[in-house]
Amino acid sequence: MRCYPHFPALLVLLFVAHHLGAQPVPVPGLAGAGGYYIFTVHPPARGEAVVWQYGDLTLTTHRLVDRSDSTVLHLAPPTHLTLRTFVQSGADAGAGWRMEEQGLGETGEVLVYPTLLSPGQRQLTESYLALRHGITLNQGLPTNYLAPAAEGGSYPVWTATAAPEFRHRIVGLAVDTTAGLLRTAGYSVLAPELLQLRWREAPAATAYFVVADDGAPTARRADRLQRRWRVETHGAVPDTTWLSIQPRSLFERLATGEGWALAVELADGQTVLLPPTPSEGELLFPLPAGTAYFQLAITGARTDGPTEDPALAHLSPNPVAVGQATQLRIALAVPQALHLSAYDLNGRQLEERWLPPTTHHLTELTFPAPGTYTLHLRPRPHGPTQALFVVVQ
């Protein structure tokens, strides 16, 4: 039997199947409770599906329905597995219930507490679910991830307030018998194919290894990719944590003669450059104990060009055959819409389109005849232009 955060007595633990059916999960034993919490991690469904039901309340993947007063709270249908927290404050606490969403998860799970929780108790429970399921908690305000202390209380295992810019795609490994937590391999469900962590053997004692990135594009600036990751560790972390990165998930593509490496900044201020361990289809790096930050580096890269270009654009293939699609990939420092127009050598406009506001753009173009074409990228129709040339053979 696993243990779970148990500050007030945990009433029931239920698992929701990966493919939700029409039958709701009953929530028993809350009769007479002055207030209660229901933490739910559930998968998406092809259509609307019932997650749980208690009395007049029904939670589906799309809405929360209170039949006692015909109230319907519409929820965004999840595209990934979602952590949602339902709070019934009870008659003594004032107005009724509320539903809050806190990120994305990996397997179905319901935790029910037949009493109201303090803010710290709630944060401890959501931290447990976040680390267990690869969830990134809402970091609109820096939110620490907590673990239960053996002597009572809690302590931070991810101190979001220490470096608030590292708030994206938080993922961790953990072994903690006090929390009933065993996760020796994991990834963020926000980017499951980009980065994975694993321990080859579970630590014998409590250990936490938590990572998040700064949200920068995975495009190069000089001989490094712009994105950096921060690491925070606690307890008996193994000497090596294995990091797997899928190069096909990166924006950057290597040129002939270039290779990947990992720049690791240690807690003592040293920086080491690690080559990847041979592994088919992935970049596999052994992160040493004491890793504080890491960043992908490019070996054999030219560094004599501009290094502060805010918009990085690649065309592939280029040259391209007539009628063959060339893929245009653009990375920006901040989310931005772009105006794209294509011209032939005579200055005749062939195509015009708007790309939606994001940091990473991906679009394809085809050209009707051989020649050299010019692509113009602008943040607005009459703004500064970045020009790209396409050779069509």
Per-residue pLDDT at 26: 41
Give the mean pLDDT of 165-174.
94
Residue 171's pLDDT band (boundaries 50, 70, 90)?
very high
Residues in the chain: 393
Which range of residues forms the domain containing residue 168? 142-308
Half-sphere exposure of 123 (CA within 13 A, CB side): 18
The pLDDT assigned to 13 comes to 40
Residues 214, 346, single domain; the answer is: no
Q: Tell me which of 117, 134, 154 is where a domain ends.
A: 117
Specify if 126 maps to a domain: no
Q: What is the mean pLDDT of residues 173-193?
A: 89
Is residue 56 domain-shared with residue 166, that is, in the same domain?
no
At 227 the pLDDT is 93
Same domain, 253 and 355: no
Indicate the pairing of strand 25-26 with strand 50-54: parallel
- My answer on whether 167 and 266 are in the same domain is yes
Q: Is the pLDDT of residue 31 over 70?
A: no
| Mean pLDDT calculated for residue range 318-337 | 82
* 26-41 mean pLDDT: 59
Q: What is the pLDDT of residue 287?
A: 94
**Final residue of a domain: which of 308, 340, 374?**
308
Query: Which position has the higher pLDDT, 348 or 9?
Result: 348
The answer to whether position 240 is within a domain reads yes
Distances in whole angstroms, Cα of residue 232 to Cα of each of 105, 192, 198, 339:
21, 20, 15, 40
For residues 319 and 367, the answer to whether their CB atoms sit within 8 Å is: no
Residue 73: per-residue pLDDT = 80
| 364 vs 79, higher pLDDT | 364
Q: Please enumerate in sequence order all residues whose Cβ is within 8 A of that of 230, keeping only pairs 6 or more positions apart, or say none.
A: 163, 166, 211, 212, 213, 214, 292, 293
Give the pLDDT mean for 70-79: 78
The answer to whether residues 300 and 338 belong to one domain is no
**Is the pTM higher than 0.75?**
no
Tokens 């890793």, residue? Answer: 291
Of 5-19, 90-104, 377-391, the poorest mean pLDDT is in 5-19
What's the pLDDT band for 203 if we cut at 50, 70, 90? very high
Same domain, 73 and 151: no
pLDDT tens digit string along 121-158?
888 888 988 898 888 888 888 999 999 988 888 999 99
* Residue 8 located in a structural domain: yes
Q: Same structural domain for residues 164 and 209? A: yes
Tell me, yes or no, whether 301 and 315 share the same domain.
Answer: no
Shared domain for 151 and 201, answered yes or no, is yes
Residues 219 and 275 reside in one and the same domain: yes
Q: Are 17 and 6 in contact (CB under 8 A)?
A: no
The residue among 84, 117, 150 that closes a domain is 117
Cβ count near 236 (within 10 Å): 12
Separation CA 211–CA 168 (nearest Å):
9
If asked whether residues 104 and 154 sit together in one domain, one would say no
Asked whether residue 260 carries a pLDDT value surpassing 90, the answer given is yes
Per-residue pLDDT band for 34 (boundaries 50, 70, 90) equals low
Assign residue 377 the CATH number of its domain: 2.60.40.1930
Angle at alpha carbon of residue 161, lines to 156 and 166, rounded to 5° = 100
392 and 321 in contact (C-beta within 8 Å)? yes
* pLDDT score for 368: 86
288 with 320, same domain: the answer is no
The answer on pLDDT for 23 being more than 60 is no
Question: Which comes out higher in pLDDT, residue 106 or 96?
Answer: 96
The single residue listed with the structure tokens 């990719």 is 225
| Average pLDDT over every residue of 371-385 | 73
322 within 8 A of 392, measured Cβ to Cβ: yes
- The answer as to whether 128 is a domain residue is no
Query: Out of 22-36, 149-163, 219-233, which region has the weakest mean confidence (pLDDT)?
Result: 22-36
Q: Decide: 54 and 27 in contact? Cβ < 8 Å.
A: yes
In 3D, which of 373, 364, 311, 366 has the Cα closest to residue 338?
311
